[in-house]
Amino acid sequence: MDITKTRKQGNAVMVTVPKSFNVGEGVTLHPRLTDKGIFYEFVNEDDFFDFDEDILKDLVSQGVEGQELIDRFKEMKTNIPAAIDKLIGEAEEETSKTHSMSREEFEKEIGL
């Protein structure tokens, strides 16, 4: 298990990512504070965590339209962080039984 320590750099507090994680320089991350700590999501140009189109396609295929479409879209969009937290929790349980999961393994696990 890798252990790292925060350090101050200017007005920011920095966290070093262990080399064994194979995260290159200049990688954009989106930090989210969860009840289990800080979760860093990779931010890609392909909008990896943008589910707007998927939500809309699903609702339209169900025949939802007008104000109901807007209301259900908003509701589903607000449920995404909780769903991601649940996936993270499940992944943490599973990997604690086996091994750490690389980004590629995670994408494969969730069907990308």
Per-residue pLDDT tens over the stretch 16-55: 888 888 888 888 888 888 888 888 888 765 666 678 889 9
Q: Using alpha carbons, select from 111, 55, 46, 44 the residue that is nearest to residue 78.
A: 55
Beta bridge partners of 14: 7
pLDDT at residue 95 in the model: 67
3-class DSSP assignment, residue 8: strand
Query: What is the C-alpha to C-alpha distance for residues 34 and 51, in angstroms, rounded to an integer?
Result: 20
pTM metric for this prediction: 0.42
Query: Token pair of 70, please?
Result: 């807007």
Render pLDDT for 89-112 as a digit per residue (tens, 0 to 9). Answer: 887 777 666 666 677 777 777 777
User: What dihedral do alpha carbons 54, 89, 36, 5 form, nearest 10°?
Assistant: -100
Listed in sequence order, the residues at least 6 apart from 69 whose beta carbon sits closer than 8 Å to its beta carbon are 56, 59, 60
Render pLDDT for 54-95 as a digit per residue (tens, 0 to 9). Answer: 999 999 999 999 999 999 999 998 888 888 888 888 877 776
Q: How far apart are the first and last CA of the chain?
A: 27
Query: What is the C-alpha to C-alpha distance for residues 15 and 23, in angstroms, rounded to an integer?
Result: 13
pLDDT at residue 89 in the model: 83
